[in-house]
Amino acid sequence: MNSIDRAISNLNQSIDDWKQHTSISFGEFLDLLTAHPTRVVRNVFQVFHDMIKTYIEGGIDEYPDDPESIHYVYYDCHRLFIEGTDHPFFADRLFANRLVNLVDAWKRGAQQNKIYIFEGPPGSGKSTFLNNLLMKYEQFANTEEGMRYEVIWRLDRKILSSHKKQEVNHFLDDLSKLLDEYELTQEEIIDAKAALQEEGEFIDIPCPSHDNPLLIIPKDHRRSFFDDLFRNDEAKWRLFTEKEYEWVFKTNPCTICSSLYQALLHRLKSPAEVFSMVYARPYQCNRRMGEGVSVFNPGDRPLKQNILTNEMLQKRINALLRDSNQVKYLFSTYAKTNNGIYGLMDIKGHNTERLIELHNIVSEGVHKVEDLEENVNSLFFALMNPEDKKNIANIQSFSDRLEYIKMPYVLDLNTEVEIYRNVFGKQIELNFLPRVLHNFGRVIISSRLKSRSEAMLEWIEEPQKYGLYCDENLQLLKMEIYTGHIPTWLEEEDWKRLTAKRRRQIIAESETEGGQGFSGRDAIKIFNDFYSTYARKDQMITMAILNNFFTKVHPELNEQIPHGFLDSLLRMYNYTILQEVKESLYYYNEERISRDLQNYLFAVNFEVGTTQTCNYTWDKLEITDGFFEGIELWLLGEGVDHDRILAFRKATQKEYTASTLTQEIMFGKQVTETKLYQALHDRYVHNLKSKALDPFLANENFRRAIKDYDREEFKTYDKKIKSDVTFLIKNLCSKFRYTKNGAREVCIYVIDNDLARQFT
């Protein structure tokens, strides 16, 4: 075999698309219908729903046990809008919830004869959204999972002509009559004759409206037909009772299918024989060909001919059925997207006329194609800039056929940051101290929010009480809610007041936000400017740099940011990192506390100046005054005079030997289960909580040790300080994702800005 033959042969084997196009008989179709009823019986709304659910899957609820949950959940839209696209679209959490809720409503069969208008300001990514959505729909609809069948009539010449043999001549005689009626040219008459005598057993007549084959069963008989066909199982029950399947019993086939059915029935006198000419084939979606999906741009001129025919096919039909008036193979361009999606990119230019025409059709449910009425059951999408609303002012005010879905700029912080990562690469994060990148996103989003939020103020009546972590407009808190996060700094009482009703009110406000402020495009430009100026190998981007950028370097940007927001953001940042440093130092570190206390209890029995190995922890202890004081600081607090410390140590030693050791440990208790241990533990934690940092911050040695961490000089410090600093830095890295340098920088920042005092 030469290479050409081999290449062709391989191609021949690997291309199997054509198999999908193969038609099956109505009987085979019914087999499939009974085997997979919920897959075969689907209209465009149901397929669209399945498509979204296939790509997005279930949402994640971060608070699954929350009784006030409104199921405002996280949907991973990566596969739907990003994977395999030329331009990714980023749906924020708010929009993703809006979209999923809409699609769920369609699935439940909520009113469907509407035009769905996605309304968003320029730069919100509307056209990217629609292109990606339609691309995924087209792909899905052509897979086995998303595939539906459509009618194709296969007229059997042999059967039909045997019924009318004697009539053929009659027909030929009547050609002259046809000539008058249709003004056919001589050439066309010859074509028609040829068609009659043409070889081949069948004439295939596709349904241009992509009707589901089950619609060929006369409407009045469908219920009893399905009753016979299906077992009495859940699927049947759903089909018969659920609103989403109402269309199955209500929809008429297109005029071509119904007239063909009538003509054939008239001829064959047997429905069974008619059904033997009904075939089913996969409904192939092809946006470029305008089949199943069609999208119009404002500049696309209206077609000269809105009504389509197929002369060749018409002649054949006429020839075969003799009576040329019975079946008119005539349809409008809307038929091509019947049971599919019809989209308008932006309502201006010619799309304004299209929308108005569409509105009339949707209101009526049918439209006239010459003297025929054509059904239109499609999913109608349109995109609109708010300022283009005026173009349809005469219909929008009173129409309940237009449903608007808001598509504002991104309002969810995580999505905003995801966009920067996508555009500039994941490595950008390495140039920021933790939280600073997200704070950049917060600044951008603050410009998009309304400064006064009735819903937030109704919930939290005195915003000032959160002055340490939040701005007075509560935008920072609202941003958290939009990302699906309820901050831990909320007071218990406010947490309780965050009822389902209030949550809905807050989320509903997002519909009126994001139409102003920095657009998606602006944000990327600003970020690019910021990042390219400040990203350096040797220094990470800090809050000071961020603040400076928006206030000093580009004061014009600051004008779009609500007054006082940057200050509040900085305060929240300071508060948050202070908590991180505190927590990393000791806070709630049970293991560390326990180790300290066990070592302390063991050591009080020994003279200062000796070295011992602790029986409980196996730590080697250098028992010095420094060692005792390091722990007593936590047991007694700061500023206690030396005599009291010594007295405390002595009393502890006395109790340890007199009762702990002899009455508890000797009788099998663990040291950590003893009364003395518990008492010390309580003291330790109490002091820790209130004054975790103070001792360190007052200690110049500690500050210097942090600066010298990871350097040669670090070795010269006292053992206790070394271990505290190492512990702190390691915790910051492991718990809060700092790098070593970042952790060091943030500690120095906390100390130098005296944050511990600011927040007492």
Contacting residues toward Zn ion, per CB under 5 A: 207, 209, 211, 253-254, 257
Cβ-based nearer residue to Zn ion, 44 or 706: 44
Cβ-based nearer residue to Zn ion, 211 or 509: 211
Cβ-based nearer residue to Zn ion, 253 or 630: 253
Rg (alpha carbons) of the chain, rounded to whole number: 38
**Smallest distance from Zn ion to CB 338, Å:** 8
**Smallest distance from Zn ion to CB 339, Å:** 10
Cβ-based nearer residue to Zn ion, 330 or 392: 330
**Smallest distance from Zn ion to CB 209, Å:** 5
How far, CA to CA in Å, does 588 sit from each of 579, 583, 592, 627?
A: 12, 7, 9, 21
Cβ-based nearer residue to Zn ion, 253 or 742: 253
Q: Using CB atoms within 10 Å of the CB of residue 300, give its burial: 0 to 12 exposed, 13 to 18 middle, 19+ buried.
A: middle
Cβ-based nearer residue to Zn ion, 70 or 307: 307
**Smallest distance from Zn ion to CB 22, Å:** 20
**Smallest distance from Zn ion to CB 376, Å:** 13
Residue identified by tokens 């009753």 is 227
Cβ-based nearer residue to Zn ion, 161 or 258: 258
The secondary structure of 384-444, three-state, reads ECHHHHHHHHHHHCCCCCEEEEECCCCCCHHHHHHHHHHHHCHHHHHHECCCHHHHHHHHH
Cβ-based nearer residue to Zn ion, 207 or 411: 207
Cβ-based nearer residue to Zn ion, 285 or 402: 285
Cβ-based nearer residue to Zn ion, 278 or 633: 278
**Smallest distance from Zn ion to CB 207, Å:** 3
CA 97 to chain centre: 7
Comparing CA positions, the residue from 389, 254, 382 lying closest to residue 328 is 254
Retrieve residue 714's tokens: 């670090």
C-alpha angle 24/26/28, rounded to 5°? 60
Task: For residue 247, give the 3-state DSSP assignment.
Answer: helix
**Smallest distance from Zn ion to CB 487, Å:** 57
Per the rule left: phi > 0, alpha: psi between -120 and 50, beta: everything else, 293 is beta
Retrieve residue 587's tokens: 């806070």
**Smallest distance from Zn ion to CB 262, Å:** 13
Cβ-based nearer residue to Zn ion, 257 or 697: 257
Amino acid letter, 662: T
**Smallest distance from Zn ion to CB 321, Å:** 16
Residue identified by tokens 């089949």 is 291
**Smallest distance from Zn ion to CB 44, Å:** 15
Pair 134, 343: CB distance under 8 Å: yes
**Smallest distance from Zn ion to CB 50, Å:** 23
- What interhelical angle do 590-603 and 625-636 show, nearest 10? 120
DSSP code for 204: E
Cβ-based nearer residue to Zn ion, 207 or 460: 207
Cβ-based nearer residue to Zn ion, 52 or 207: 207
**Smallest distance from Zn ion to CB 114, Å:** 23
Comparing CA positions, the residue from 435, 493, 505 lying closest to residue 72 is 505
Cβ-based nearer residue to Zn ion, 211 or 580: 211
How far, CA to CA in Å, does 36 sit from each of 29, 39, 215, 230, 234?
A: 10, 5, 17, 11, 12
**Smallest distance from Zn ion to CB 261, Å:** 9
Per the rule left: phi > 0, alpha: psi between -120 and 50, beta: everything else, 297 is beta
Cβ-based nearer residue to Zn ion, 129 or 247: 247
**Smallest distance from Zn ion to CB 25, Å:** 17
**Smallest distance from Zn ion to CB 216, Å:** 8
The span from the CA of 737 to the CA of 517, in Å, is: 31
Q: Which residues of 262-296 are buried (b: 16+ CB within 10 A; e: fewer)?
A: ebbeebbeeeebbbbbbbbbbbbbebeeebbbbbb
* Direct distance between the N- and C-terminal alpha carbons of the chain, in angstroms, rounded to an integer: 86
Q: Which residues have CB under 8 Å from 697's CB, separation 6+?
A: 703, 750, 751, 754, 756, 757
Other residues' Cβ atoms within 10 Å of the Cβ of residue 421: 13
Which helix (H) or strand (E) element contains residue 302?
none
The span from the CA of 563 to the CA of 569, in Å, is: 11
Q: Which residues have CB under 8 Å from 556's CB, separation 6+?
A: none
Residue identified by tokens 């995109």 is 383
Cβ-based nearer residue to Zn ion, 329 or 573: 329
Retrieve residue 354's tokens: 């299209």
Q: What does 93-125 look like in DSSP terms, one character per residue?
A: HHHHHHHHHHHHHHHTT----SEEEEE--TTS-
**Smallest distance from Zn ion to CB 306, Å:** 18
The span from the CA of 615 to the CA of 652, in Å, is: 18
Q: What does 590-631 look like in DSSP terms, one character per residue?
A: HHHHHHHHHHHHHHTTS-TT-EEE-TTT--EEE--HHHHHHH
User: What is the β-pairing status of strands 278-282 and 202-206?
Assistant: unpaired
**Smallest distance from Zn ion to CB 260, Å:** 8
**Smallest distance from Zn ion to CB 228, Å:** 24
Cβ-based nearer residue to Zn ion, 253 or 292: 253
Q: Which residues of 561-587 are buried (b: 16+ CB within 10 A; e: fewer)?
A: bbeebbebbebbbbbbbbbbbbbbbbb
Cβ-based nearer residue to Zn ion, 338 or 483: 338
